[in-house]
Chain A
Amino acid sequence: SYELTQPPSVSVSPGQTARITCSGDALPKRFAYWYRQKPGLAPVLVIYQDNERALGIPERFSGSSSGTTVTLTISGVQPEDEADYYCQSADSSGTYEVFGGGTKLTVL
């Protein structure tokens, strides 16, 4: 079955830039999406169609795509950005949706 691969954890200090990657063979032909999830809450859409910010998401969040890897970048990380981040896309046939394993962002 199709998989999306994320690093388990990323740590940055406040004000620094955090980059979270997501790799998958079908990403060159499938859009990717990013969600933020804080403890005890449902996920929230952050980035759609690789690089578009969802409503209400601060400008410091951005997305990019290159080949089989998509990247979520958070510039000038704030303490409130500490959360789990998940990428999501579809397999090469477009039949099944898949989530990455998630990345825990820690703001030191």
Chain B
Amino acid sequence: QIQLVQSGAEVKKPGASVKVSCETSGYTFTAYYIHWVRQAPGQGLEWMGWINPSSGATNYAQNFQGRVTMTRDASITTPYLELSRLTSDDTAVYYCARGRRWRETYYFDYWGQGTLVTVSS
């Protein structure tokens, strides 16, 4: 079955960086883009961007450009999200999700379980 399994919770100090992984299985890794979505405590979902696992091409939401890096290791079918210069506003659950595209719109049919990142001094 299709699974996206994310790395465990992280606690970081302001100004630091965090890297979250999303191990995928059960489907052809290079056939579907991976998107990252975050959710601050008690807040809604916020799309962060995507990575094309085949080429490594990325597209980042404007709110995160300059601070986010999405990469992948195709040999272990694992994409990564790295966010730098963390502040308390980055405290959130970070989700990876498999994206399917239809007429210039992506949607997300499988999700990881989420990774809580806490930024605190």
Binding site for B on A (CB under 8 A): 1, 30-31, 33, 35, 37, 42-45, 48-49, 54, 86, 88-90, 94-102
Interface size class of B (residues with CB under 8 A): 20 to 34
Number of A-B contacts (CB under 8 A): 65
A90 touches B105 (CB 8 A): yes
B44 touches A86 (CB 8 A): yes
A48 touches B107 (CB 8 A): yes
* Cα–Cα distance between A33 and B63 once the two chains are bound (Å): 22
Residues of B within 8 Å of A48, CB to CB, are 102, 107, 109
Binding site for A on B (CB under 8 A): 35, 37, 44-47, 59, 61-63, 95, 102-109, 111-114
* Cα–Cα distance between A45 and B107 once the two chains are bound (Å): 8
Residue of B nearest to A40 (CB): B114
B113 touches A101 (CB 8 A): no
Given A33-B107, A42-B95, A43-B111, decide whether A99 and B102 contact each other with a Cβ distance below 8 A: no
